[in-house]
Amino acid sequence: MSSNGTPQEPTTPDAATPPASESVTPVGAVSPTDSVSPADSVSPTGTVTTPTGSVRRPKATGLATGEAVPGVAKTDPIMVIDNVTRRFGGLTAVDVEHLEIPRHAITALIGPNGAGKTTLFNLLCGFDKPNSGTWSYDGKNISGVPSFKVARMGQVRTFQLTKALSLLTVLENMKLGSTGQKGESLWASVIPAIWRKQDDEIESKAMELLTRFKLDAKADDYAASLSGGQRKLLEMARALMSDPNLVMLDEPMAGVNPALTESLLDHILDLKDLGMTVLFVEHDMHMVRHIADWVIVMAEGRVVAEGPPEQVMHDQAVIDAYLGSHQDVDLGVVTGRIAGELDTSAMELLEEIEEEHEAAIAEAEEENK
């Protein structure tokens, strides 16, 4: 797998070829001239191998056409959202004026709980209907288009609560993901001659993907027998069966252990190398910083900031709304439960806590008098 830098397919002689949208492009070999990333921020060697052996891949830059403010125009947007609102009774869950999702990049959608991230997700893939607004995908207006048609256009999603089809085998789950199957029409289904050949092709493609996601040994087991992490992998692999252009992942790392997170991260980076666009919702800031090329921050239904991850993490609005001012401080060290170096920000936090503590004591004494 890509985590050890070895492509599972024989490397193509010309590594500089831009990745095609086929699923068998070697994933370990990322070239500096990758069409996805303009060369300005990429080191001359293109890839950097970290001590742990994983390949650090260059981030896509130059995605926006101006200063990174909410609603900034992108050089090549795959999705353009205009004036989308969704209200639940008196609560405005989503109120986005203008937003563009860059193509061939990994975009993270972050924000506090209840910020409207998942609601926006559901709207964009047709699972929910907005109160107002339009959005387009690949230049086509898809507002009001039902979810299954949106999916057929090459925009697939996964769910926050994993939806593995429990009493279907893993392989059946995978085969279901393929679109345009002849045997899925009722009349054709009675005559196997019509769909048998296509079904075999789908099966070999499914096995290939399962091997990539290390689920091939489980192919004949019910999906219900998979662990939570394996179901996440299955859901992602299943989404890839349709050769999508835009993959939307709703909290792909929720409830996944660190080692599996690592491999999921690599899979997401692979998607980008294969020429897909990824939009994902996530709470883990380390992960967002690690893989996202672009970050969109939502709070109370609005987009409050967007930009490259490093820039967004230092945006005051983002810190106030979401991250908190001491996001990098280890709480254990501050409270003295764990021995460790206190850096300046930790000292500040400690002072702040002590001040509050003293103030509280003073207040209590005041009341006692």
Partner 1 sequence: MDFGQIFNLSLGYLFSPVTLAYALAATGLAVHFGYAGLLNFGMAGFMAIGAYGYAISILSFGLPWWVGIIIGMIGASIFAVILGIPTLRLRADYLAIVTIAAAEIVRLLFTTQLFDEWTNSADGLGGYHADFRSANPFPPGTYGFGPWTYSADQLWVRVFGLLLLGIAVYLVWAIMRSPWGRVLKGIREDEDAVRSLGKNVFAYKMQALIIGGVFGALGGVVFALPSAVVPALYQTSLTFFIWTILLLGGAATVFGPVVGAVIFWFIMAFLDALLPAMASAGILPISSIQAAILRFILVGVALMLIVIFRPQGILGNKRELTFVK
Binding site for partner 1 (CB under 8 A): 125, 127, 147-149, 151-152, 156-159, 163-168, 172-173, 175-177, 179, 181-186, 188-190, 192, 195, 199, 222, 224-225, 235, 238-239, 241-242
Complex with partner 1: residue 153 or 285, whichever CB lies closer: 153
Work out how close the CB of 173 gets to partner 1 at its nearest, in angstroms, rounded to a whole number: 8
Work out how close the CB of 128 gets to partner 1 at its nearest, in angstroms, rounded to a whole number: 11
Work out how close the CB of 28 gets to partner 1 at its nearest, in angstroms, rounded to a whole number: 29
Cα 237 off chain centre by: 14
Complex with partner 1: residue 230 or 242, whichever CB lies closer: 242
Complex with partner 1: residue 151 or 296, whichever CB lies closer: 151
Complex with partner 1: residue 172 or 330, whichever CB lies closer: 172
Angle at Cα 272 formed by Cα 270 and Cα 277, nearest 5°? 140
Please, are residues 325 and 319 in contact by the beta-carbon 8 Å criterion?
yes
> Alpha helices of 94-191 — where are they, by DSSP H?
117-124, 147-152, 170-176, 186-189
Work out how close the CB of 144 gets to partner 1 at its nearest, in angstroms, rounded to a whole number: 16
Complex with partner 1: residue 188 or 350, whichever CB lies closer: 188
DSSP annotation of 304: E
| Residue (of 224, 285, 294) closest to 63 by Cα position | 294
Chain position carrying tokens 């092709």: 201
Phi, then psi, of 338 in degrees rounded to 5: -125, 135
101 residue type, one letter: I
Angle at Cα 335 formed by Cα 334 and Cα 336, nearest 5°? 90
Please, are residues 302 and 311 in contact by the beta-carbon 8 Å criterion?
no
Complex with partner 1: residue 251 or 306, whichever CB lies closer: 251
Work out how close the CB of 278 gets to partner 1 at its nearest, in angstroms, rounded to a whole number: 16
Work out how close the CB of 171 gets to partner 1 at its nearest, in angstroms, rounded to a whole number: 10
State which H helix or E strand residue 248 sits in: strand 246-250
